[in-house]
Amino acid sequence: MKQPLRVTVTGAAGQICYSLLFRIASGEMLGHDQPVILQLLEITPALKVLEAVKMELDDCAFPLLRGVVVTDDAKEAFTGADIALMVGAKPRGPGMERADLLKDNGKIFSTLGKVINEVANTDIKILVVGNPANTNAYILAKNAPNINQRNITAMTRLDHNRALHQLAEKTGNNVNSVKRMIIWGNHSTTQVPDISHATINGDAALSKVDESWWKQEFMPKVGKRGAEVIAARGSSSAASAANGVIDHMRDWVLGSEPGDYVSMAVPSDGSYGIEKGLIYSFPTVCQNGDYQIVQGLEISDFIQAEMIESEDELKSEAVTVEDLY
Ligand code: NAX
């Protein structure tokens, strides 16, 4: 039997985690032969609810779950962690500007970045989910210089999965017949859901749909899907976000499907002209516990302009929060 991996999860008493934790404990994220210890972090007022979540985890009698730590002490939560899922953040309140959200949540990620820098394994794999996810990851990275910077990522896998479904539904196919979907850029409405390289049962996706559909319906639909769910549900996507976390981390650790791409927001290495260091969503392939940005894709002028708009948004977000790093 393998040694247990320690998985730190922040915001563990929240909506997303109520779906996420049980799937990690059942082996869906790291494999059905991989024991785990969950190290759950919350703010003090949420500890009572988190204790109840622990009771339910205990009551599932998951064979792979070797321990659950419940704490409001960030040092305790990140010590020895192999993986960190950074879900905890404040939701955007009524009348709150994006800049206020950036600053408020940015503070959480500068504080936790410093703690991670001090106590975590330097090769810890980090996924930021709490919004604004890309810029929170950027702040975290700047505050955690000792950590392998490649391993500080943000989630666009939910956007990727939303895009797979929309294209599959439109063309009357199963999602698993759609390959090489790409989300470029920021996890925001400037994201670029790109089907230029996608295939459906091996055929070019662009040959199966009208240009007007993918530019005027598909792209805005995917970009605004989060708001559509909020309008219908009264709160933001939770189970589908948890599923995105599972997919992102499972593929990173265990490998993505050969021949397919998965979208991950990762520190730019300058690929496709994107400013180095920005946490930008790229098509990637994962193997041996690492990811590589897919290189050499031909980019149309239309997509290029969209990619730059999303990059510009990330640059301006970075300026808004520059006092946090
Ligand atoms: P909830 O409000 O249900 O849960 C958030 C939890 O974080 C709360 O229990 C809160 O006490 C905790 N928290 C706040 N500050 C903390 C801190 N400093 N340390 C530890 N825990 C802290 O939100 P939920 O629906 O679970 O969503 C969590 C985050 O995910 C939000 O920022 C949300 O906007 C974001 N999302 C990101 C998505 C993505 O694709 N990247 C999609 C879904 C979601 O919108």
325 in a domain, yes or no? Answer: no
275 in a domain, yes or no? Answer: yes
Shared domain check, 28 and 132 = yes
pTM of the predicted model as reported, rounded to 2 decimal places = 0.98
213 in a domain, yes or no? Answer: yes
Residue to probe by mutation, ligand 1, list 50, 69, 131, 162, most atoms within 8 Å of CB: 131
Q: What is the pLDDT of residues 243-289, one digit of tens each?
A: 999 999 999 999 999 999 999 999 999 999 999 999 999 999 999 99
Shared domain check, 93 and 167 = no
Confidence band, pLDDT 50/70/90 cuts, at residue 95: confident
Asked whether the predicted pLDDT for residue 172 surpasses 90, the reply is yes
Shared domain check, 131 and 104 = yes
Pocket of ligand 1 (CB under 6 A): 10-11, 13-16, 41-43, 46, 87-91, 108, 129-131, 133, 155, 158, 187, 226, 236-238, 241, 244
User: What number is the average pLDDT over the span 216-233?
Assistant: 94
- Which residue minimizes the CA distance to atom 45 of ligand 1? 236
pLDDT of residue 240: 98
Asked whether the predicted pLDDT for residue 1 surpasses 90, the reply is no
Q: What is the pLDDT of residues 14-36, one digit of tens each?
A: 999 999 999 999 999 999 999 99
Shared domain check, 147 and 31 = yes
Confidence band, pLDDT 50/70/90 cuts, at residue 211: very high
Residue with the bigger pLDDT between 65 and 93: it is: 65
324 in a domain, yes or no? Answer: no
User: What number is the average pLDDT over the span 189-206?
Assistant: 98
Asked whether the predicted pLDDT for residue 93 surpasses 80, the reply is no
pLDDT of residue 45: 98
User: What number is the average pLDDT over the span 37-60?
Assistant: 98
What percentage of the chain carries pLDDT values higher than 70? 99
pLDDT of residue 46: 98
Shared domain check, 241 and 142 = no
Amino acid at 251: D
| Distance spanning both ends of the chain, measured CA to CA | 42
Q: 160, 187, 197, 248: which one is catalytic?
A: 187
Shared domain check, 120 and 197 = no
> What is the extent of the structural domain holding 73?
5-154
| 187 annotated active-site | yes
- Tell me the three-class secondary structure of the chain, residue by residue: CCCCEEEEEECCCCHHHHHHHHHHHCCCCCCCCCCEEEEEECCHHHHHHHHHHHHHHHHCCCCCEEEEEEECCHHHHHCCCCEEEECCCCCCCCCCCHHHHHHHHHHHHHHHHHHHHHHCCCCCEEEECCCCHHHHHHHHHHHCCCCCHHHEEECCHHHHHHHHHHHHHHHCCCHHHEECCEEEECCCCCCEEECCCCEECCEEHHHCCCHHHHHHHHHHHHHCHHHHHHHHHCCCCCHHHHHHHHHHHHHHHHCCCCCCCEEEEEECCCHHHCCCCCEEEEEEEEECCEEEECCCCCCCHHHHHHHHHHHHHHHHHHHHCHHHC
Shared domain check, 211 and 107 = no
Confidence band, pLDDT 50/70/90 cuts, at residue 99: confident
